[in-house]
Amino acid sequence: MTFSANEPSPINERELRSAFGTFLTGITVVTMIDGDGNPRGITANSFTSVSLDPPLLLVCVGNRSFSFPAFCDTQSFAVNLLHEGQADVSSLFASKSSDKFQSVPFGPGITGAPILADCLTWFDCTVHDRVMAGDHLILIGRVQAFGTTPSAPLGFCRGRYTAAREPLAAGRQTEHGVQVGYLVEADDGILLQSDGTGGWRLPGGRSRKAESALSLGDGGLLPLRPDDTFLYSVFDIPGQDAGCLVYRARLAPEASAAGLPPDVRVFALDALPFEAIPTREARAMLRRYVRERQADRFGIYIDSGDGGRLAMVDGRASRWSHVVTENA
């Protein structure tokens, strides 16, 4: 076959892939829940921001992926950017393994899409548009919530992982859409975490309830008593675009103060550093907690324009399955 001077030469796919691969990218794991309620996830580095107003991003999903049909039908998905210590997670989700989520902690975002518990940054999205382009689906998402940590990103270039430097300064973790704090009880006190500027705050987590452990933004871990975490307070902070959820939890029996992350301390209830807690709402919530802890009778606070609502909760917690059985 011959080609005229006006016709383009045929493209060698292998060489083109190598040329594309000289562009340094990050690594993402794109996740969703399929029609049968199962979590799905694939590794992808074709990711970019699209717009701030409205907040849009895009990822590309290859039509050879086993999960391709599910991504064509889903109404929501999450993009989890990986940090430099997660090359194994990237390889796992790039494989054809049927149990990818068995060894990677995750929880639902506000859309229900799986958010990986330990990642650099996550974006929880609803589907804004889909565009078929060649052998890939361009999935455009509208960001509903996101969060990030100070870790360094995992890079990819010329077919191999690479390191990136200059991560965010410590203490620069941000969460948008919803912030989650934990009143973690330990002995006769609670745990507070340094904010890096001389203040103290509740240990924070992702926008979901932690189960057996709370992953901190700096990579630390707080082991919790399973099935002993309950919603305690819901409120807004004026001037911030994120609502706040606060859970009560208890430190696992095997954990000790000596084994806590260096920026986490146990404070006795009568020695809480209220003057170093930056927001009025957090101080008020902690003062209420101290009163209720002393009376051993707790409530759930829901913020509202007229000062909020407080519902008292009486009795000890019981497993839902036991309650259903007893009332059947």
The H or E element containing residue 174 is: strand 174-176
The enclosing domain of 285 has a CATH number of 3.90.79.10
Per-residue model confidence (pLDDT) at position 170: 45
Whether 240 is covered by a domain: the verdict is yes
2 located within any domain:
no
Which CATH number covers residue 66?
Answer: 2.30.110.10
Tell me how many domains the chain contains.
2
CA nearest neighbour of 119 among 158, 142, 161, 150: 150
Q: Tell me the pairing of strands 221-223 and 174-176.
A: unpaired
CA separation, residue 239 to residues 164, 242, 243, 298 (Å)? 34, 9, 11, 28
- Please, is 226 exposed, middle or buried when counting C-beta atoms within 10 Å of its C-beta (0-12, 13-18, 19+)? exposed
One domain, residues 91 and 231: no
- Write the burial class of residue 120 (CB in 10 Å: 0-12 exposed, 13-18 middle, 19+ buried): buried
Residues 6+ apart with CB under 8 A from 48: 57, 58
Q: Residue 18 is part of which domain span?
A: 13-163
Position 19 scores a pLDDT of 87
> Does a structural domain hold residue 3?
no
Quick one: 158 and 188 in the same domain? no
DSSP state string for 177-220: SEEEEEEEEETTEEEEEE-SSS-EE--EE-SS---SEEE-TTS-
Mean pLDDT split into 10-residue runs, the chain, 328 residues:
56 84 88 92 93 94 88 94 91 88 87 89 94 93 88 85 61 56 90 87 69 68 81 73 80 77 90 89 90 86 69 59 44
For residue 217, the model assigns a pLDDT of 59
Report the C-alpha gap between 92 and 125 in whole angstroms. 23
Give the CA distances from residue 39 to residues 35, 42, 57, 63, 102, in Å, rounded to whole numbers and listed in that order: 10, 11, 21, 19, 10
Residue 56 lies in a domain: yes
Give domain status of residue 169, yes or no: no
Burial class (CB in 10 A: 0-12, 13-18, 19+), 156: buried
What sign does the dihedral 69-71-76-80 (CA atoms) show? Answer: positive
Instruction: Report pLDDT for 12.
Output: 85
pLDDT for 157: 86
pLDDT at 262: 84
Same domain, 106 and 244: no
**pLDDT of the residue at 14:** 84
163, 186, 203 - which closes a domain:
163
Helix (H) or strand (E) holding 40: strand 39-44
What's the pLDDT at 322?
Answer: 46
Residue listed under structure tokens 């002995």:
187
- One domain for residues 41 and 93: yes
Q: Are residues 131 and 195 in the same domain?
A: no
Q: What are 162's two structure tokens?
A: 């690479």
Domain assignment of residue 138, yes or no: yes
